[in-house]
Amino acid sequence: MKPAAFDYVRAETLGEAIEVLAQHGGDARIIAGGQSLMAMLNMRLARPKVLIDIMRLRELDRIDSTSGSVKIGAGVRQAALLAWPELATSLPLLSKALPWTGHAQTRSRGTVCGSLAHADPSAELPLALVALGGELHLRSAGKQRKVAAREFFAGMMATARADDELIEAVSFPSGNARCAFREVARRHGDFAIVACAAVATKDGVRFAVGGVADVPTARDWPRLEGSALDDALNGFAHELDARDDVHATARYRRDLVRLIGRDLVREVLQ
């Protein structure tokens, strides 16, 4: 299918992009790499009147590593982050999850922030952001704010971003080497049937699941072992309210959460 008609705006500065967004609000959409939005436009699931292209804004194409966090601008493509020499040491969870995000042919165009903006419940980047407890940097005319990952994802493909706000960057806490990621999909690079991430915390472990509930969901647990871990995973698997769909049954999804969860939690608590 083909997109409905829209005006196309190529912004040269961040101010211009914000200004046009303020004028049109919900009738405008930001386009960066376009790997999620263009499919939505083609299927007419999105019908903006104005499309604002931000890929010529050099100021958004940067990765800033400071003590404790890595800030990734809205213009940074997934392939660029994957090729970032510090990725494995600064963001080990992302170095494990990012190769599962789409395919080489889509990572070359798709941006990190674009995947977060799209908020597909089975996408890897939102899951990693929730697992690590990162935050989004949002900007509108005359206002900036930060939103924590858990508040940002509001539902299936719904976020806390207001219509006049642009995602300027995302920050991931850096360093934590004790982390694990695993995904089950029909084909490598397809959306996950279940994707899981585990990250060691001060008191135990944070375990996060994507592809099951409407949003990536995390639980913080103390150091759990044996049947206590099995019980926690079983309770979590049911709380996620899995549903049957064309890809998998709810029961299969719960099984995957329990099985992958046990492996990953054990791995990071070792």
The CB-of-62 to another protein minimum distance in angstroms stands at 18
The CB-of-63 to another protein minimum distance in angstroms stands at 18
The CB-of-27 to another protein minimum distance in angstroms stands at 12
- By C-beta, is 185 or 269 nearer to another protein? 185
- By C-beta, is 8 or 270 nearer to another protein? 8
Binding residues for another protein (CB under 8 A): 1-13, 16, 20, 34-35, 38-39, 41-43, 49, 51, 53, 55, 79, 102-106, 108-109, 187-189
- Cα gap 58→107, rounded to integer Å: 19
The amino acid at residue 123 is A
The CB-of-180 to another protein minimum distance in angstroms stands at 20
The CB-of-83 to another protein minimum distance in angstroms stands at 11
The CB-of-23 to another protein minimum distance in angstroms stands at 11
Could you give the angle at which helices 250-269 and 226-239 cross, rounded to 10 degrees? 140
Longest dimension (CA), the chain: 58
- By C-beta, is 75 or 102 nearer to another protein? 102
- By C-beta, is 35 or 171 nearer to another protein? 35
- By C-beta, is 31 or 242 nearer to another protein? 31
Question: Three-state secondary structure along 156-198?
Answer: CCEECCCCCCEEEEEEEECCCCCEEEEEECCCCCCCCCEEEEE
- By C-beta, is 116 or 268 nearer to another protein? 116
